[in-house]
Amino acid sequence: MSAVFDAQCTECPRLAGFLAQVRTDYPTYYARPVAAFGDVEPRLLIVGLAPGLHGANRSGRPFTGDYAGILLYETLHQFGYASAPVSTRVDDGLVLQGCRITNAVKCLPPANKPETAEIRQCNHYLQAELAGLPANISILALGAVAHAAVLMACGVPAKAHKFAHGAVHELASGQRLYDSYHCSRYNTNTRRLTPEMFKAVFAKIKSDNG
Residue 58 lies in a domain: yes
Residue 1 covered by a domain: no
How sure is the predictor about 98, in pLDDT bands with cuts at 50, 70 and 90? very high
Distance CA 6, CA 62 (A): 15
Q: Is residue 12 part of a domain?
A: no
Report residue 21: phi and psi, to 5°: -70, -40
Q: Are 152 and 160 in contact (CB under 8 A)?
A: no
> Which residue would you say has higher pLDDT here, 4 or 95?
95
Within-domain flag for 197: yes
Give the span between the Cα atoms of 72 and 139, in whole angstroms: 15
Model pTM?
Answer: 0.96
Distance CA 201, CA 210 (A): 14
Q: Using 50, 70 and 90 to split pLDDT, how confident is the model at 136?
A: confident
3-state secondary structure of 75: helix
What stretch of H or E contains 101? strand 99-103
64 part of a folded domain:
yes
Question: Which among 106, 195, 202 is positioned nearest to 146, based on CA atoms?
Answer: 106
Phi, psi angle pair for 63, to nearest 5°: 60, 30
pLDDT higher than 90, residue 138: yes
In a domain, 26, yes or no: no
Cβ-proximal residues to 54 (8 Å cutoff; 6+ apart), any chain: 65, 66
Task: Share the mean pLDDT of the chain.
Answer: 95
Domains held by the chain: number: 1
Q: Does some domain include residue 8?
A: no
- pLDDT for 158 equals 87
Closest CA to 196 of 164, 166, 162, 163: 166
Q: Give 155: exposed, middle or buried? Use CB within 10 Å, 0-12, 13-18, 19+.
A: exposed
Domain CATH code at residue 168 = 3.40.470.10
Can you give the residue range of the structural domain that contains 124?
33-208
> What number is the average pLDDT over the span 199-204?
98
- The tens digit of pLDDT for each residue in 74-91 reads 999 999 999 999 999 999
The verdict on residue 184 lying in a domain is yes
Asked if 137 and 98 count as a contact pair (C-beta separation under 8 A), the reply is no
Q: Could you report the per-residue pLDDT of 49-67, keeping only the tens digit for each?
A: 999 999 999 999 999 999 9
Residue 1: band (very low, low, confident or very high) from pLDDT cuts 50, 70, 90: very low
Distance CA 207, CA 210 (A): 5
Distance separating alpha carbons of residues 100 and 27, to the nearest angstrom: 28
Task: Write out pLDDT tens, residues 27-51.
Answer: 999 999 999 999 999 999 999 999 9
